Structure formats: structure tokens, C-alpha cells
Amino acid sequence: MYLLLVLFFILFSLGSAELRATLYQNPEAGLATVTLELVNTAPKTVALLRWNLPLDNRFGSNSFLVRFNGLPVTYLGPVVKYDGPFLNDYVLLEPNGAITVDVSLEDLYDFSLPGKYDVLFEADIMDYIVSQNLESSFPRETFTPYLGVVSNSLQITTHDSLAPKGMKAPYPCSSQETSQLNSAATSQKSMINYALTAINQGDSAVYKEWFGAYTTARGTTTAECISAITDNSVVKYACDDQPGVYAYVYPADTTHTIYCCEAFWTAPNAGGFDTKAGTLIHELSHFSNICGTNDWVYGVNGARNLAISNPSRAVANADNYEYFSEVQW
């Protein structure tokens, strides 16, 4: 289960940035491969949470802005619901220390059309810890984000259509896992129907708790999202053994396959937060043709605080839909 995380939004201006991001072209590694370098320019050791960054080499990262003829290119990689965080979810950077990673963008974004692509790394570090002894900072009761890490822009020219490597091939689900998935799917359908009834009430205390100040536009967004999840009849389930992960999906995947991982199997079926049924709602909300949500923040308190500080992001955050639905159970 997630720690209950209180997010303190601390904005570091580019003029005083202590984390520098630089993109380099790497044509020898691949036609659309770039090298990302992150440098700690602060006079102190820092730890960066890897979540949703290219630093987690198990998954892709949607932290790049890729444009073709000025228009955003579709992200084809996965998005992940993490458990934790744990010590190994962080990378340490000493003063003036750097970490580099090669990223094959053609495996994550739609490079099907030959031509010129403009690429920029643009991300928030979900947790930025100033500490020489990372263990002393655990357990993490608060997240300290580092917002607005932006790199230089690169232009990549391709001469052929580049095909992505495709979605991950999972292992077959066991009979026990299949049974748990069937129970979770049944509970998910009941839970999202309860959520639909609640969201159709419009402005309410529970709406404000998870989505912030009510406006007609945001109310419409949340109602349409929950209605779309309720009406969806296309879904598949697959099993994976990734540690520290509840589940992941590929938002562009029209089969709506949900890959359930290690933390999913130990979660309660329903009742409480970060349940199996709630996780399925979280994942369904990510699909582009259902809601197209992001993972701006994780965790119960993170979602609550996002509703207060940035309602526009709250109505586009997967955990907010999950927790709104779970409290209806």
C-alpha cells in the first residue's frame, strides 16, 4: 500500500536550478535514440525518485515532449502504478555527479512518419531528497517534488518509418491469479457504478475532497470519465512479476490490457485504499479512448492535496479517480 504522502510543492526556478538536464543525439545507438544526462549542480548529495522517469529501465517514460510538424506525437509506452517507495526506487547523485541513460524514443513514441521530430525532456521529479544517508529519510512520510526539469531541444531526422518494439509479453496467469482477477473485476464493476451515482450528484463534499473546487467544466470532465469507465466492455488481464508495482498499461492499447504485478496480488480485493478493484479503475482511466489520465501524483494524501492545489490536474490524475471510487464502497 502506498504511504500516505503529503506533497509540498516546491518550485525551483530555472535560474536557480540544482538539477540540469541535457539531451544528446546518439545516432550510433539507434535512429531515434537520445542520451539523457542529469547533473546535480548542488553542493550536496541528492536522491531522485525514479518513478515515471527514464531512470527506471524496466518501463518506458512519457517524460519527453516529441513533436512532428509542430504537433505532439502519440506516446505508445506504458504508464505504471507503483507501490512504495522503497530505497531502490531512488538514485543518488553526489555534488557535480551525473547519470546518463540512452532512450530509444522509437520504442515509446509514434515515429511511423519519416521526417523531422523535435524532442525535449520535460519532467517533474516526484521526490527529491537532500541527504547523504538515504536510509535516514525512510520511511517517506512526505514527498518533496522538484518541478520543471527541462532539457535543451533536439531535432531528429528519420528517413523511414520506425516501428516500436511492441507491448511486453506477460507470463500466463496461474489459476489462483485468474480467480483473484475475476473477483477484482466483479468488484470493480460494482465500485465504478457506485462512483457514477456519486459523481452525478455534482458538487459535493466527496467531490471536493478528490477533485477540488467544483466548476461545470471540471464536473463534466469527471462525470464523462467515470461514465466511460462504467460503459467500457473491452478489457483483458495479464500477469507480470515486476516488484514494487501494482499494475501498468499501454494507454494507446485498444484491447485495454491491464498487466497486474507483484503488489496487486497482496492488495485487498475491495474496502480501503489501493485495492485490487480500485487499481483496475485506476488503470482503465489511463487508456486514451476512455479517460486518458496521467500520474501527476501518487498516494491518498498526494491526491487530496492535488485536489486543493491544482484541481485541473486532479481531474486528470488516475489515483484521484481510484480513491473517489474506493470511498464509495
Is 18 catalytic? The answer is no
Q: Is 171 helix (H, G, I), strand (E, B) or coil?
A: strand
Lookup: cell for 256: 485495454
Of all helices (H) and strands (E), which one includes residue 99?
Answer: strand 98-104
Strands of the sheet with 71-72, listed across from one edge: 71-72, 64-68, 115-125, 146-158
φ and ψ at 92, to 5 degrees?
-90, 140
Amino acid letter, 34: V
Nearest alpha-carbon partner for 184 in 241, 251, 246: 246
Question: Choosing from 106, 283, 322, 326, which is the catalytic residue?
Answer: 283
DSSP string, 70-92: TEEPPB-S-EEEE----GGGEEE
DSSP label at residue 213? S
Per DSSP, which regions of 105-261 are E strands?
115-125, 128-130, 142-143, 146-158, 236-239, 245-249, 257-260
User: Which CA distances in Å does 206 have to 82, 198, 289, 306?
Assistant: 25, 8, 26, 14
Q: Which residues belong to the active site?
A: 283
